[in-house]
Amino acid sequence: MLDVVIISIAAFFAGVLNAIAGGGSFLTFPALVFIGVPPIPANATSAVAVFPGYLSGAAGFLSEIRAFDRRELYILLGLSILGGVLGAVLLLVTPSEVFSFIVPWLLLFATFLFAFDKQIRNWTKSDSGASPVGKTAATLVVTTYGGYFNGGLGIVLLALFSGLGFRDINLMNGLKNVLSFILSGASVVTFLIAGIVYMKEAAIMMLAATVGGYLGARLARRLPVSVIRSVVIVVGIGMTVVFLMRT
């Protein structure tokens, strides 16, 4: 019962954070590890728990997505599926002790991206655009990262879109949610086939995260985003320190 309470609270607040500023995986993944789920299955179960929320996020930008070039959208979706599967397979073949070693560095990387997302997006802006090969390679790398480790995915995708020359922030946010949902769905299917997802925990956390996401959307109208962002950064740094101490 205590385990259920812990993961429910973590997933609830993860839903709140994702609705307001992102960073929910900073709570769901460590909570699963804390109750005794091995790191690799915990990462897979965390991905299952949070991925449905991306769909509702994308629904808020349907008009921008519908106006986007269909051919380019299909290419992005195809690369998202491929990257999601590649990342999931890479996770499955990573030895547990190796993944445990790199987890704190992945958390630190994701926290850094979250803390400096605006600067990173400005730095990656390119008015000249990129070659088709460069766009394909960059998108595949980012989506593979998302399939392997979900932390900081939204910031990485926004930085990617800036680097590819996108300027409409509403379109970028819409594509971010669509690609996150697609690649996470591809990785989740891979994890389910591999049988490493803790289904009971995933179901509990999906329900809690959904409730948190709904309330988080309402809370977003009242709390300054800067406050929530500060909480995410503090949690990210704290989780990094905890996992460094565990290695």
Q: What is the domain partition of the chain in residue ranges?
A: 2-246
Pinpoint the alpha helices (H) of 125-168.
Answer: 132-148, 153-163
Cβ of 205: how many Cβ atoms within 10 Å?
Answer: 29
Is residue 128 over pLDDT 60? Answer: no
Mean pLDDT of 199-205: 94
pLDDT of residue 192: 93
In 3D, which of 43, 51, 151, 158 has the Cα closest to residue 99? 43
In 3D, which of 192, 189, 193, 180 has the Cα closest to residue 149? 180
Residue 67: phi, psi to the nearest 5?
A: -80, -10
Mean pLDDT of 115-136: 70
Its pTM stands at 0.80
Mean pLDDT of 198-209: 93
Is residue 160 over pLDDT 80? Answer: yes
Is residue 8 over pLDDT 80? Answer: yes
Is residue 3 over pLDDT 60? Answer: yes
CB 62 within 8 A of CB 174: yes
CA separation, residue 117 to residues 69, 153, 162 (Å): 26, 11, 11
Is residue 138 over pLDDT 70? Answer: yes
Q: What is the pLDDT of residues 229-247, one digit of tens each?
A: 787 788 778 878 888 887 6
> Under the phi-then-psi rule, with left for phi > 0, alpha for psi from -120 to 50, and beta for the rest, what region is 45?
alpha
Q: What is the pLDDT of residues 218-230, one digit of tens each?
A: 676 676 767 777 8
Of residues 88 and 216, more confidently modeled: 88
Residue 166: phi, psi to the nearest 5?
A: -70, 145
Mean pLDDT of 49-77: 84
pLDDT of residue 44: 93
